[in-house]
Amino acid sequence: MRLLDLRLTGFRNYEDACCAFDPGVNLFVGENAQGKTNLLEAICYLSRGAAFRTRKEAELIHFGSEFAALEAHVFSYDREQSLKTVLFAGRRPRQLFLSGVKKPSREALDGVLNTVLFCPEDLMILKKGAADRRKLLDDALCQLRPRYARALEEYRRCAAQKAAVLRDWHDSPRLLDLLPDYDERMAQTGAIVIHTRARYLEQLAARAAVHHAAFTADREQLACVYQTVSTVTDPTAQTAELYDRLREHQESHRQAELAAGQCLSGPHKDDFELSINGRSVKTYGSQGQTRTAAISLKLAERDLFEQDTGEQPVLLLDDVLSELDAGRQDFVINCIRSGQVLITCCETDRLTTAGRTFRVEAGRVAEVEN
Ligand code: ATP
Ligand code: MG
């Protein structure tokens, strides 16, 4: 999958700009507030139909403009297509076009351009709470596996209803009659959730370890373990086995759940732990190590997406270079050789030898000669 070019009219700080991309690495250098992230945001918007920094489309339109137009040519699944979106100030709905044909809904454009985005907020995912790490797995799996998305939705619905019962049963003891049914369905869907996440993480970890070793010239070994309820010793086991273990866990936690008034048993509390050379990244990882491991995970996510869909998503790396040493910066700029990569950075003296370098200045993009 390759982005061929992009034209922006009245989008954020771009009045009218265009850019033709390299099939390999595209490095966008520029000082703060020049439009580097805006450029990636426009690409993401064309890819997913939603902006990653705001829910308000009006914010995407250049100050004082009546509309914003975003257009890109994409080569994917052996053909060239164009994606175009026009956003209007006021209440007029957006217009979507695929290869010049107006489309009534966003779904018609799905899959034409897939992107994997990595922004500064993602860098600390390994240091933050478990919810962010579960989200990383769930976001990827919901796109790739419809059965997983359905099981997760059902699990969440039952968990929310069970939580309400556990909260309110003192006032209405008859609510307790509902618990066996919720437990049964949570064990069934929970088994699918644990099995699918753990299998995916196994593959993700294997790919991420390869990227991380290349990143660090084999000095660091990355490993990853899925953590779930105590009765499950092998989270990659078959779902029938996981179902039995979840039922066991529910049984042993029944009194504690009633006393706590909370849902204590199940994969809604799961996590995964990353280690470098046997030591936990969360506890001992340096800033640079944590960033490197997070980027390796994203590169792995892209590999698995390609394995499933046959096309490699375009990788968008926003501002990931700071806090990386010279060797690791060089890896990002010059050594990610598979597929197309767009990288932004503030280090204005950087050049890539693996593609093209562009300078972004006050909403204008110009290629820098190597
Ligand atoms: P940094 O290196 O600090 O991350 P950047 O080059 O990524 O900077 P962007 O986030 O792309 O910067 O933003 C560039 C500028 O775009 C900002 O100064 C911002 O105020 C401006 N901007 C944002 N929305 C609009 C808009 N709707 N109209 C005009 N300008 C806007
Ligand atoms: Mg930025």
CATH number for the domain harbouring residue 361: 3.40.50.300
Rg value, the chain, Cα = 23
- Rounded Cα distance between 57 and 356, Å, is 31
Q: Is residue 35 part of a domain?
A: yes
The answer on 102 and 73 residing in a single domain is yes
Q: Is residue 246 part of a domain?
A: yes
Q: The dihedral of CA 333, 38, 294, 139: what is its sign?
A: negative
Tell me the pTM: 0.88
Cα 78 to its chain centre, rounded Å, is: 25
Distance 12 CA to ligand 1 centre (A): 7
Contacts of 177 by beta carbon, 8 Å cutoff, 6+ apart: none
Residue nearest to atom 3 of ligand 1 (CA): 32
pLDDT value at residue 227: 97
Evaluate: CB of 346 within 6 angstroms of ligand 1. yes
The answer on 322 and 253 residing in a single domain is no
Q: Is residue 292 part of a domain?
A: no
Evaluate: CB of 64 within 6 angstroms of ligand 1. no
Q: What token pair was written down for 210?
A: 């390869």
- Rounded Cα distance between 169 and 215, Å, is 54
Evaluate: CB of 35 within 6 angstroms of ligand 1. yes
The answer on 87 and 188 residing in a single domain is no
Evaluate: CB of 12 within 6 angstroms of ligand 1. yes
- Rounded Cα distance between 52 and 317, Å, is 13
The answer on 237 and 129 residing in a single domain is yes
Evaluate: CB of 33 within 6 angstroms of ligand 1. yes
pLDDT value at residue 97: 97
**How many helices (H) and strands (E) are present in the chain, helices listed first?**
8, 15
Residue nearest to atom 17 of ligand 1 (CA): 33
The answer on 197 and 85 residing in a single domain is no
Q: Is residue 303 part of a domain?
A: no
Pocket test for ligand 1, best of 9, 12, 16 (most atoms within 8 A of CB): 12
Domain edge (last residue) among 248, 266, 284:
284
The answer on 249 and 190 residing in a single domain is yes
Distance 53 CA to ligand 2 centre (A): 11
- Rounded Cα distance between 300 and 201, Å, is 10
* Contact predicate 297/315, CB 8 Å: no
Q: What domain range is 99 assigned to? A: 2-114+311-368
- Rounded Cα distance between 320 and 120, Å, is 6
Q: Any idea what DSSP says for residue 128?
A: S
* Contact predicate 368/357, CB 8 Å: yes
- Rounded Cα distance between 281 and 287, Å, is 10
Name residue, tokens 């009546």: 66
Amino acid, res. 56: K
pLDDT value at residue 111: 87
Contacts of 268 by beta carbon, 8 Å cutoff, 6+ apart: 155, 156, 159
The answer on 277 and 149 residing in a single domain is yes
The answer on 355 and 269 residing in a single domain is no
CATH number at residue 225: 1.20.1050.90
Name residue, tokens 């949570």: 186
pLDDT value at residue 335: 80
- Rounded Cα distance between 273 and 279, Å, is 10
Q: Is residue 294 part of a domain?
A: no
pLDDT tens, N- to C-terminus, the chain (370 residues): 999 999 999 999 999 999 999 999 999 999 999 999 999 999 999 998 989 888 899 999 999 999 999 999 999 999 999 999 999 999 999 999 999 999 999 889 988 999 999 988 887 788 889 999 999 899 889 888 889 999 999 999 999 999 999 999 999 999 999 999 999 999 999 999 999 999 999 999 999 999 999 999 999 999 999 999 999 999 999 999 999 999 999 999 999 999 999 999 899 999 999 999 999 999 999 999 999 999 999 999 999 999 998 999 999 999 998 889 999 999 998 888 789 999 999 999 999 989 999 999 999 999 998 7
Contacts of 42 by beta carbon, 8 Å cutoff, 6+ apart: 6, 8, 11, 12, 14, 70
pLDDT value at residue 110: 86
Number of separate domains in the chain: 2
The answer on 327 and 261 residing in a single domain is no
- Rounded Cα distance between 161 and 159, Å, is 5
The answer on 324 and 273 residing in a single domain is no
pLDDT value at residue 146: 87
| Residue 230, helix vs strand vs coil | coil
Q: Is residue 300 part of a domain?
A: no
* Contact predicate 28/3, CB 8 Å: no
Q: Is residue 289 part of a domain?
A: no
Amino acid, res. 349: D
The answer on 274 and 148 residing in a single domain is yes
Evaluate: CB of 235 within 6 angstroms of ligand 1. no
Q: Is residue 161 part of a domain?
A: yes
Evaluate: CB of 266 within 6 angstroms of ligand 1. no
The answer on 140 and 43 residing in a single domain is no
- Rounded Cα distance between 298 and 317, Å, is 10
